[in-house]
Amino acid sequence: MQTLLLWLFYISSFYAFIPGMITRIFGFRVFRRGKGKRAFALTFDDGPDPQYTPQLLDLLKQYHAKGTFFVVGSNAEQHPELIKRMHDEGHLIGIHNYTHKSNWLMRPRTVRNQIMKTDKIIHDITGERTSYYRPPWGIINLFDFSKRNQFKIVLWSSMFGDWRESTGADRLATRMLSKLKPGEVMLLHDCGSTVGANANAPEQMLIALDKVLQEAQQRDLHSIRIDDMISAKENAAEKKLSRSKLAVVKLWLLWEMIFHFVFRLRTVTPHNPFIHYRLRPYQGNNITLDNGMVLHKGDKVIELHFDNEKLFHIGINSRSTVHLAIKMIRSMEKELPSLAQQLMDNDDLKDAKALYGVSMINRGPEKFGFSIRDLPEGWFAKTTGLYLKLLMRIIHPAGQDRLNESADKLVPKMLVMPIDQLNKYYAVNGSHRNPNTKANKQDLGAEEEQLRSVSLLGASQGLEGTPPIV
């Protein structure tokens, strides 16, 4: 019996207590505080509530404030008009499980089902997916970390006990004003029907929030959405760069924006762009892929383009080349299932035979299912190499250093993946980590070496001599 209790203690510690502790103390793999000079974030849990959420939305509109609502799926299902109003008025909507139940008390599959069910409810009402998740009571279990590929876990930097009516509006306002400063992520509740809360507590919260928003106006502070705060924190690193470097980067990104408009590139996740794509006829020589499929000239392909602004931000906020590589891999893991689904859902894209791009990444894309082929010698290969090296100098924060260190290794190559393979590994499983793929048979040392190789700038050249990547 003693041994059984000891094992239960070990399992519960690794499953719940340790993950919860490191996220609260160290902020590991969660977002809980931003940066800036004039902005803070108001976040609201447990709603929508038919009595208090409309009053809250009216108050936010009065002060031109934006908030982030982590909604309980069952409440959203009952009050779709409030979800639609949140969306229409420019607020961000996140997930707070389908029922307000601790993740410690549910199996990983049950938690996932709750999240996906709530995501579908939000999508059915607003037409948009959400990428933000806050577990009830902020309680993280070990498997919640795996959701970072699809959802950003958001906690908070300050909470005030507003779920208790006895706190009172005056005391609550005093507590909130003491934390009213840039970068703060405030936790509040617009519903009092959850366990441990008082039904009328949101009434006191609204009175206190009115006072706080008045004071925020006087201090020239304003409330922004969590996604805007995350972007602002990522962009803060740009201040370390010289003005000339930033000017060149902005000009280059302007050119990229024009290109995307002219050639009508689509974006896999418009709210957080990482991969753009378009349907094109393949114009190169016939090539045989790893699975035996032959890509002929004239076959329709999906040409991939990385979002170079996103790459710039990833690069400038990475602690090392391996850290940058990990971020790129995680982003690809998140994007490919969505891309596979979009290709299946759009009739005009169903005839595509393969994904295609040209990249300076020499190793690493195989783990996602791409075949890698040399570019045929000629003017296209030479101009592509020059173009991508120029792009590396501009977009990559340490691009010039990488060129000086390993210019001979920066050789652009074709990356191709059959659409059938994309659908097999991503549309069904939602992850390339299929137990039957070669990637999962690699040992840890090979994986680390692969990460180092992927850390080259993933900028690639498309069929028209453009700035895409794979």
Residue 329 has pLDDT above 70, yes or no: yes
236 φ, ψ (degrees, to nearest 5): -60, -30
Of the candidates 273, 236, 312, which has an alpha carbon nearest to the alpha carbon of residue 34?
236
For every residue of 158-217, DSSP letters joined together read: EE--TT-GGG-HHHHHHHHHHT-STT-EEEEES---STT--TTHHHHHHHHHHHHHHHHH
Phi-psi region of 224 (alpha: psi -120 to 50; beta: other; left: phi over 0): beta
Q: What is the pLDDT of residue 379?
A: 64
Q: What is the pLDDT of residue 126?
A: 95
CA dist., res. 179 & res. 161, Å (int): 13
Give the confidence band of 7 by pLDDT, cuts at 50, 70, 90.
very low
Catalogue the active-site residues.
45, 189
Q: What is the pLDDT of residue 415?
A: 86
pLDDT in tens, 253-285: 777 788 888 888 999 988 778 899 999 999 888
Of the candidates 326, 330, 325, 273, which has an alpha carbon nearest to the alpha carbon of residue 304?
273
Min mean pLDDT across 58-67, 74-83, 317-326 is at 317-326
The bridge status of strand 300-306 relative to strand 275-281 is antiparallel
pLDDT, average across residues 457-470: 36
CA dist., res. 273 & res. 253, Å (int): 13
State both tokens at 177.
């004003």
Of the candidates 164, 169, 144, 168, which has an alpha carbon nearest to the alpha carbon of residue 155?
144
CA dist., res. 172 & res. 187, Å (int): 12
Q: What is the pLDDT of residue 283?
A: 84
Cis peptide before 19 (omega within 30 of 0): no
pLDDT in tens, 193-250: 888 899 999 999 999 999 999 999 999 999 999 999 988 876 665 556 666 666 767 7
CA dist., res. 116 & res. 110, Å (int): 10
pLDDT, average across residues 122-139: 90
User: Is 88 in contact with 66 (CB distance < 8 Å)?
Assistant: no
The per-residue pLDDT of the chain, averaged, comes to 78
Report the predicted TM-score, pTM, of the whole model to 2 decimal places.
Answer: 0.54
